[in-house]
Amino acid sequence: MTRVHTDLSRVAISVAPDPATSGTSLGVTDSNAAYLPDAYPYWAVLVPVDTAPTRANSEIVKVTGGSSAAGTTTLTIVRAQGIPVTTAQTVTTDFDIYDANSAEIENKSNVLENQVFS
């Protein structure tokens, strides 16, 4: 599958994790999912709507999978990621998710993965 490079596309969360601080899946509408990468895993940031992300209000997650049903794409996430690790936030439908990878970072990662070191 070819990765879609979305470079910081930010979309609304339509189905919040349950429980809000430890749930491992969330939903976005299928139309909004088109703005997020279509290959896994990738890094993302969960941030309150209309707010600039900070370590105090946002959470870095690793999106490890996704599936679509009934107009919603459900994303599987690993919570509280980052260096240093971010704190799990109380994520609601008043949050957005955005792809934290850039096309340049992704391309450099792919080059490194394909190197043979002796």
Inside any domain, residue 65: yes
How many domains does the chain fold into?
Answer: 1
> CA-CA distance, 73 to 66, in Å (whole number)?
6
Could you tell me if 98 and 55 are in contact, meaning their C-beta atoms sit under 8 angstroms apart? no
| Domain membership flag for residue 102 | yes
Q: Is residue 4 part of a domain?
A: no
The per-residue pLDDT for 4 is 57
Which residue range forms the structural domain that includes residue 69?
10-113
Q: Is residue 30 part of a domain?
A: yes
Collapsing DSSP to helix, strand or coil, 60 comes out as strand
Domain membership flag for residue 91? yes
Beta bridge partners of 62: 43, 78
Ordered alpha helix ranges (H), 23-69: 30-33
Indicate yes or no: pTM above 0.75: yes
Supply the pLDDT for residue 102. Answer: 56
| Model confidence at 113: pLDDT above 80 | no
Q: What per-residue confidence (pLDDT) applies to 108?
A: 45
Residue 19 located in a structural domain: yes
What gap in Å lies between CA 103 and CA 109, rounded to an integer? 10
Position with higher pLDDT, 66 vs 39: 66
- Enter the DSSP assignment of 55: T
Is position 66 within any domain? Answer: yes
